[in-house]
Every structure is written in C-alpha cells, then in structure tokens.
C-alpha cells in the first residue's frame, strides 16, 4: 500500500532514507557525507512543498520517496529550472530490496505525474548510485542535463527524465 506519510512519520521516513543510503558513506568524503546527511534530513523533515510517499509491506513501512512539484532553485550561482515533477530520495530498506518495491513507488510517481497532466517525470542520481542509475535507465529514464548541478566541487548530481505516455 502506498500513501502519504503523516507529519508524525517524517522521522521514520528520514530513518528509512538514512539506512538505505548508508552504503554510500564509505565511498564519500567524510565532510561531504556529513553535509549530505544533514541536508537530506532537513529536506525530509521540513520541505512542505514535497509529498512524502511511503510504502507499507506486510504492515511495515519499508520504503519512501518524495514527489516534488516542478521547481526552480539556485545552487552555486547557477539557476536551475525543472518544469516537470521530480522523484527525490527514493529509499528502500536494504532487507526489502529486490522485491519490486522501488518499481512500485516509481510506477506510482509516473502515474501521478501523468494524472496531473505532465509529459515527463525527473529525478537526480550520482556516480555513487550505480544500481539505481541502471534501474532508472532500464525503465526509460535518460540524461536531462538541464537539471544537473554540482553541490560541492567535483561531486556531480545528474538529472534524468522519462517521457511519459498514456
């Protein structure tokens, strides 16, 4: 079952994301990782413009994703405009991977974007997330450089987009 997280479940969503992304810590600069974790948690706890979706499996919340409206932001003197909704911080607890849970959340976000009248859905990923990147590419997502950014020198965040069809 997929549903919107309640306000009281935000800390659980942050915990699921932290546990899901922990595998990337060893490959990251410690200062960057600390900043990334704080930024991620702040987004999950306070970003009221995003819809927090959770997936329950066997009566347990095991995955989450943010569904974000089209947006504009500025990072390091670069203005970025994304005219499409975006999936952010897709997270599945490690012990529940390879059960189709991520695919279910992605399907839900794609269908929601279509229902809202959008022709595409976007996301961001990094070199650290090779398994996720391969999954997105298998699902028809391709590079969308218009929303690429570099939060710290040398660390690239790549934009991806999938054209949606009814």
pLDDT tens, position by position, 63-93: 999 999 999 888 777 789 999 999 999 999 9
Task: Show the beta-strand stretches assigned E in the chain.
Answer: 2-4, 50-57, 60-68, 71-75, 78-82, 86-92, 120-126, 142-143, 149-152, 155-163
30-46 helix and 10-21 helix, angle to the nearest 10 degrees: 150
Name the residue among 51, 70, 52 with its Cα closest to residue 61. Answer: 52
Query: Residue 96 pLDDT > 90, yes or no?
Result: yes
Quote the tokens at residue 26. Answer: 């060893």
CA atoms of 154 and 4, how far apart (whole Å): 35
Q: Place 122 in a pLDDT band, splitting at 50, 70 and 90.
A: very high
CA atoms of 161 and 146, how far apart (whole Å): 10
Q: Place 9 in a pLDDT band, splitting at 50, 70 and 90.
A: very high
Look at the chain and count its residues: 166
Summarised one tens digit per residue, pLDDT across range 28-70 is 878 877 887 888 888 888 867 789 999 999 899 999 999 999 9
Is 2-163 assigned to CATH 3.40.50.970? no
Answer yes or no: are the C-beta atoms of 144 and 122 closer than 8 Å.
Answer: yes
Query: What is the model's pLDDT at position 144?
Result: 97
Q: Where are the domains of the chain?
A: 2-163
115: which strand partners? Answer: none
Q: Place 18 in a pLDDT band, splitting at 50, 70 and 90.
A: very high
Q: Place 164 in a pLDDT band, splitting at 50, 70 and 90.
A: very high
Q: Residue 32, class by beta-carbon neighbours within 10 Å (0-12 exposed, 13-18 middle, 19+ buried)?
A: middle
Query: What is the model's pLDDT at position 44?
Result: 84
Query: What is the model's pLDDT at position 93?
Result: 96
* Mean pLDDT value across the chain: 91
């Amino acid at each position: 079952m997929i549903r919107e997280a309640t306000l009281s479940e935000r800390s659980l969503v942050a915990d699921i994301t932290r546990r899901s992304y922990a595998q990337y810590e060893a490959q990251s600069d410690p200062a960057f990782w600390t900043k990334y974790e704080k930024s991620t948690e702040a987004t999950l706890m306070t970003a009221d413009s995003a819809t927090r979706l959770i997936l329950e499996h066997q009566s347990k919340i095991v995955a989450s994703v943010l569904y974000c409206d089209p947006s504009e932001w500025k990072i390091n003197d670069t203005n970025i405009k994304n005219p499409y909704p975006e999936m952010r911080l897709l997270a599945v607890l490690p012990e529940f991977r390879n059960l189709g849970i991520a695919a279910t959340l992605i399907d839900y976000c794609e269908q929601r974007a279509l229902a809202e009248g959008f022709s595409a859905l976007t996301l961001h990923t990094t070199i650290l997330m090779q398994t996720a990147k391969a999954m997105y590419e298998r699902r028809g997502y391709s590079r969308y450089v218009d929303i690429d950014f570099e939060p710290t020198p040398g660390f690239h965040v790549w934009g991806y987009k999938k054209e949606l069809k009814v």
